[in-house]
Amino acid sequence: MPTDNDNNTGQLFKAYTSTSPQEVAGCYDSWAEDYETHMSNVGYLHPAMVAGLALRHVPPGSRPILDAGAGTGIMAQILVALGYPEIVGFDGSKDMLAGAAAKNVYTELDQMYLGQPLAYPDDHFQAAVSAGVFTQGHAPLAGLDELVRVVCPGGCIIFSVARVYLGSSFQDKSDELKDKGLWCQIDASEHYDSTPLDAENLTAQVFAFKIN
């Protein structure tokens, strides 16, 4: 018999097996109404972990901050409470964006896909954050190229990495951007379980990079 946590994470595992940005967006559209309840039930940690590293390296009051893969706006709620007054967000799911808009914590919200060109100018943001997005079936690691482009020199990108990306795949991408002189790593969390109240250990790590 399925448990409550099986129901809570079933949509997440559907997202992990998505094969296109449109498919993963459709998965989140169908999940949007119950998303925060389900993720709260499994102790979802990515937004808090990303916000913790952001607070270390991005001075409160910095603006604007980009929330890449905004979902229902959990990340922006935390950042605004911590003293970041101008959060711009985007997501591929229109229904998740509707939930984010209802929180009234973003100065701008757009429907875009991480991994495709972003409609923002070069060097526009003081920082970018991304929680729970660089993982299996979600945004490709190539999406980091656009985040590097839109964050100004001296600014930071703070993001979680999980599942099949965590390890050599991410290390290769990190080294590529470092070798091009585009960024340098300034911090990383320890490994953690992103859904600690669920039976399966979903290991993740948060990284902070400074843009050169």
* Count of beta carbons in the 10 Å neighbourhood of residue 143: 22
pLDDT interval class at 2 (50, 70, 90)? very low
pLDDT, one tens digit per residue, over 141-169 is 999 999 999 999 999 999 999 988 999 99
Could you tell me the CATH number of the domain that includes residue 56? 3.40.50.150
Residue span of the structural domain in which 140 resides: 4-211
- State how far the Cα of 210 lies from the Cα of 187, in Å rounded to an integer: 9
pLDDT computed for residue 26 by the predictor: 72
Give how many domains the chain has, as a whole number: 1
The percentage of the chain sitting over the pLDDT mark of 90, rounded to a whole number, equals 75
Beta strands in the chain (DSSP E): 65-68, 87-91, 108-111, 125-134, 151-162, 183-188, 192-193, 203-211
Max Cα distance, the chain (Å) = 53
pTM above 0.85, yes or no: yes
